[in-house]
Structure formats: C-alpha cells, structure tokens
Chains A and B, each alone.
Chain A
Amino acid sequence: KNQVEQSPQSLIILEGKNCTLQCNYTVSPFSNLRWYKQDTGRGPVSLTIMTFSENTKSNGRYTATLDADTKQSSLHITASQLSDSASYICVVTEFGNEKLTFGTGTRLTIIP
C-alpha cells in the first residue's frame, strides 16, 4: 500500500529561525511530489512540485529537496515568519493513474 509519512508531527520555533520538515514515501511508480501549505480553516495551497529528475526547487523562503533513490523529500523554511504558522502536507502522485497519496502533515507554529 502506498504511504506518505511526515515528521515531525508538530514543530514550534522562534520567528527568524530556520526549520526542515521531512517526508518519506513508498509510492511507486513515482510521478511527482508536492508540498502544500494549509492555514487554519483554509484549503491547502501548493508550494512546490518536484519531478523525478529534480533535486532542489525553491519558492521564496521555501526550498524543497527530493531524493528519488531513497524516496525522501524535505521542505526547508528559511528565516521563518509568523505567517509561516500552518500545516505542511506532502502529497505524492502515482505515475500512470495520477492517484494521490497525502501525508498527515506537520503542524508548524512560529512564535515571536
């Protein structure tokens, strides 16, 4: 069964600090991996997409990495801001049928 596991489950950091969120998956065959940000009470919004051939992709202060060999991805947030407080969800797409497997998310809290 395809699975996506995220760690940590929750994280609290001081404003201005950096942090890294992890995503491990077993989805095969692999099409792409996306990181979504979900603010409280809102729907998820896509941050980045990683395909098989991509190792790193940045979107402002967010940098995602992908190691397709070990089936691991990370999302690094630089110089965190209060607005980064949200849940971050890793989603992996299966090649061929476009089936999506969602992780349970990491709840990030930035404190001033």
Chain B
Amino acid sequence: EAGVVQSPRYKIIEKKQPVAFWCNPISGHNTLYWYLQNLGQGPELLIRYENEEAVDDSQLPKDRFSAERLKGVDSTLKIQPAELGDSAVYLCASSPGGGIGAGELFFGEGSRLTVL
C-alpha cells in the first residue's frame, strides 16, 4: 500500500515569491493534516481536513497561507507571498480517524522550504 506522497521534497525560493505543496494521502483516509516543523521542534498543526471540510484551521496564517482539499482526496498548501520565517519542513499526514485509530497519523516525507 502506498504511503502519503508529498511534492516537492525540496523548494528554494526568494522571499515574496509564491510556493505550493501537494499531498496525496493514503487511500481511504478521510482525515488530512498539514503540519509545519521547524528544526529541532515538534510538528505544529496548520490545518486539519475531514473529507473536504477544514475542521481546524485556527493556526493557519490566513493572510498568506491557503489550503484546499478538492474532492476530499489530494490537498494543496500555498504560501503567497513567502517570508524568511516560513523556512521549515511542511509535513502532510493522513489518518483513518475515529475510535482506536484516533491519533494514528501516517506522515509523508515532508517538503523542505528554504526562503532566501
């Protein structure tokens, strides 16, 4: 079974430029998460989807970040314009959700963003 697929793995851009990350979750997983991870820190939630619905986007900086999950499968996270402080790893995770599965996240390899 294929895992969570993210692209690109690495991205280097200049500040004020836009950037987009793509995530394909594990088939059948209704819950999808985007996390931001700084070096030496734990992941921080940006947004959580249940199917197409964003059920928790309270930590998403909406002035420059946007996300979508069309048809409840793939998801895209966009930053426009990027700032120096956005340099980090952006992790996508999916989960079967609910019951004993609650908290069982399957992560992608991450997209490492460097803003110059």
Contact = CB atoms under 8 A, between A and B. Distances in A.
Contacts of B105: 44, 46, 91, 100
B42 A31 contact: no
B56 A99 contact: yes
B2 interface: no
B104 interface: yes
Interface residues of A, number: 24
A76 interface: no
A22 interface: no
Contacts of A103: 42
**Interface range, B side:** 20 to 34
Contact of B104 (A4, A34, A104, A105): A34
B18 interface: no
Given A43-B93, A98-B97, A98-B102, A104 B41 contact: yes
Given A43-B108, A93-B103, A102-B44, 19 more contacts: A31-B102, A41-B110, A41-B112, A43-B91, A43-B93, A43-B109, A44-B43, A44-B105, A45-B107, A46-B105, A46-B106, A93-B102, A98-B97, A98-B102, A99-B56, A102-B42, A104-B40, A104-B42, A105-B40
| In the complex, the 10 A-B pairs of residues with the closest C-beta atoms, listed nearest first | A43-B107, A93-B103, A102-B42, A98-B102, A104-B42, A93-B102, A44-B107, A105-B42, A32-B103, A43-B108
Interface of B: 4, 40-45, 56, 91, 93, 97-98, 100, 102-110, 112
